Amino acid sequence: MINTQVATKEMFLADLVNQCSKLEVANRKGSAYGLQDLRDAATEYVLAASFPTVRDEEWRFTDLSSMLQVPFHVPQSYQSTVKLADIVMPVKNRDDLPLRLVFVNGFYAPDLSTVNLPDFYAGNLSNVPEKYRSRITDVLSQHKQQTEVFTALNVAGLADSAVVFVPANVCVEMPIHLLFLTAPGASPTMSQPHCVVIAEPGSNVTLIEDYATLGNVPAFTNAVTEVVVGENAAVNHVRLQREALDAVHIGKSAIVQSRNSRYTCHAISLGGKISRHNLEVFQRGEGTETTLNGLTVAFGEQLSDTHSLIDFNYPHGTSRQLHKCIIGNKARAVFNGKVFVRKAAQLTDAGQLSRNLLLSPRARVDTKPQLEIVADNVKCSHGATVSQLEDDELFYLQSRGLDLERSRYLLIDAFAAEILDKLPILGVAKMLSTCVAVQE
């Protein structure tokens, strides 16, 4: 029985890799970035790797075995049948969001994108100006050494990528909306979006990385995003996962910060039958500032998993992390936050807090904030809380004329507001507040 299960896992990965190998690099310009070599190395890694199971420490709360029963199909080209009118946008007024890049099943959709490029680049990999290509090659080349099977699987099928390149000392006034759509066909679809963001020294940019699905056919999104924050640069990053409830979403965000840079991530997870976000921040210079705000909302039988890592290796670094979960029905949330403070990272100031709200007796959360400190002159703290709606708070609101349902919503909204109010774009916060109310 065990041997059969192992063979099934191996066949599952081998089938996906085989489909990925047939993808053609966009416009055949991938040789400029050495994509084929990267793809070959990633393919070799995936074929030798094991499919994650609950026996693996990093996956012990997240059971992916149901994926093995679904014959996912990898689209080989872009199909222009999608209409943006079918998607609820984070910001409806186009004047507020004139820059939008749309990728459908991992393929760039120029007919759905709205791009204005005065002094920076936002587009796909094959159209990057020559003067920026060497920097992007440096970022992509980091995938020569793989350490995780789903990231390697994404690289094995890397045919194109969203690219945002902000030159030195350029401030992008308007946010850039990166919309990644999974549009299932007649059979379950696997989409592998890839995104590269480079903010050169002294630059400033705000991004909305947005994942959504169309239709009700099971889908699998395997996403990788790489963000490079240059010296004295600032990146404000909203990551919104709002896919369908029969979708599986696995995402990797890898951030590298240079000296005196500022990176803020607002990671919101609403959708997916199974979702997993691996967020890793690596300090590559002193004086970095990192802020991670997370909100997970899960109902029904959803499973939402967040794993984060902040790696300090230089002095005078600062980080603040607040992750909140709202869990109802029979849903389950996982939070595993790691902060590594290495010996050279003296005078680090790091704070981490996990706060969780359970709305039903069968809801469950597994939270594990953790610190690993080698330096001896630091200020670090971490903590976790798990609570329910208080009866006296509900009674107070009802005594003021509200019914029970409205009272519950107000308390849940107040719990989520601590994260949503920090979002850099008001329209996104309003939309997400509505989504939380609808799920409840």
Residue 215's pLDDT is 77
Most confident of 184-193, 285-294, 405-414, 429-438: 285-294
Task: Give the SS3 label for residue 381.
Answer: strand
State the average pLDDT over residues 62-77: 92
Local confidence band at 28 (pLDDT 50, 70, 90 cut-offs): very low
- The pLDDT assigned to 6 comes to 54
**CA atoms of 221 and 236, how far apart (whole Å):** 23
Residues 10-19 have a mean pLDDT of 93
Note the pLDDT tens digit of each residue in 171-204.
998 899 999 999 877 789 999 999 999 999 999 9
Mean pLDDT of the chain: 90
Q: Which of 90-104, 362-376, 425-439 holds the top average pLDDT?
A: 362-376
CB–CB of 209/238 below 8 Å? yes
pLDDT digit string (tens) for 119-156?
A: 899 999 989 999 999 999 999 998 888 889 999 999 99
**CA separation for the pair 332, 363 (Å, rounded):** 6
First to last CA, the chain: 41
Assess whether pLDDT exceeds 90 at residue 8: no
More confident: 112 or 235 = 235
Decide which of 8 and 96 is more confident: 8
- For residue range 194-233, what is the model confidence (pLDDT) as tens digits? 999 999 999 999 999 999 998 777 899 999 999 999 999 9
Q: For residues 208 and 206, what is the distance between their CA atoms, to the nearest angstrom?
A: 7
In 3D, which of 157, 236, 154, 225 has the Cα closest to residue 196?
225
The Cβ-side half-sphere exposure at 420, using a 13 Å CA radius, reads: 23
pLDDT at 436: 67
Q: What is the pLDDT of residue 434?
A: 66
Q: What local confidence, expressed as pLDDT, does residue 2 receive?
A: 44
pLDDT class of 279 with cuts at 50, 70, 90: very high
Q: At what angle do helices 149-156 and 35-48 cross, to 10 degrees?
A: 140
Number of helices (H) and strands (E), helices first, in the chain? Answer: 7, 20
pLDDT number for residue 7: 52
The proportion of the chain whose per-residue pLDDT surpasses 70, expressed as a percent, equals 92
pLDDT band at residue 27 under the 50/70/90 scheme? very low
Q: Residues 247, 217: contact at Cβ < 8 Å?
A: no
* Position 52 confidence tier, pLDDT thresholds 50, 70, 90: very high
Distances (CA, A) of 188 to 75, 199, 268: 10, 36, 25
Residues 237-274: tens digit of each pLDDT: 999 999 999 999 999 999 999 999 999 999 999 999 99
Q: What tokens appear for 406 in the block?
A: 């409205």
Q: Return the structure tokens found at 382.
A: 């971490």
pLDDT of residue 214: 85
pTM (predicted TM-score): 0.94
Q: Which of 421, 408, 249 is nearest to 326 (CA)?
A: 408
